[in-house]
Amino acid sequence: MNVLLTGAHGTVGSAIRDRLDDRYEFTYLDVEEHPEFETAVADVSEYDDLAPHLEGQDAVVHLAMPDWVGGSTSRELGWDPGLERDTRALCTVIDGAREADVEKVIYASSNHAVGLYEVTRAPEIYYPGHGVTVDHTVPPRPDSRYGLVKVFGEGLGRLAAEVHGLDFAAIRICAVRDEPYDHPYGDAERGVERGDWDRGSEGYDEQVARLKGMWHSRRDLAQMVERCLETEDLGFDVFYGVSDNDRRWFDTDHARDRIGYDPQDNGEEWDAPPE
């Protein structure tokens, strides 16, 4: 299977690349070259840049986002020029895939498309017994303009699927981290390194509690992408990119039933960071 991977060398892209490189004929696309992997350099928001790399592909795994429009913690409502670039990129990739007769798009959506379910219940939602389940049927509740862009991508993907017959899977990615921090203590330990808090502090403990619910290990992420690639007749669907964490609030049953997702990791199995 020929697969175009946009944003190939970021945190999420590298998790897919490192674990699935020998399974598919990947074209790695990013904004700059990589020292180890042959890279197609292109701007996904520019159709003429992107179109040649869509030819001959069976699927696109779309991770690239040109502008984070203030990030996931900003609650701004006003116009940001990044909104135009981000939404144009989504139109370019999805419509370009349709034009090139690509069969399937797997889209890196985000938990921030429904982030207010967390924001309005934090920090209680980070601890066992919270009683919250957010599944694929809930209304979108973006927590930021970043989340809003992700909702736009999901809506455009639904239109492409239901009107134009494109298979489209939106993965609402929770918390994927680079290799040294690929564990539920990752965010807390990174904060120690930055000088944000000390180990054992309230801030440290809250970060651990949150990531024990949100963690999506790199191997579980790669497996979910693989299952989306291998499942036929997806139509339009939404899955939560999260490991089998006991205290998660995002549903995995739908992904298990629909694509055979079988996560291997559970944040609750960790009681300390790695040595």
Nearest to 188 by CA among 170, 202, 173, 174: 202
Catalytic residue among 107, 146, 181, 204: 146
Per-residue pLDDT band at 85 (split at 50, 70, 90): very high
C-alpha–C-alpha distance, residues 61 and 4, integer Å:
6
Tell me the pLDDT tens digit for each residue of 136-175.
Answer: 999 999 999 999 999 999 999 999 999 999 999 999 999 9
Q: Please, what are the domains in the chain?
A: 2-269 (3.40.50.720)
pTM: 0.96
Known catalytic residue: 146?
A: yes
Share the mean pLDDT of the chain. Answer: 97
Nearest to 132 by CA among 257, 19, 248: 248
Nearest to 175 by CA among 16, 19, 12, 14: 12
What six digits make up the tokens of 168?
Answer: 């489209």
Average pLDDT over residues 4-17: 97
Tell me the pLDDT tens digit for each residue of 16-73.
Answer: 999 999 999 999 999 999 999 999 999 999 999 999 999 999 999 999 998 888 888 8
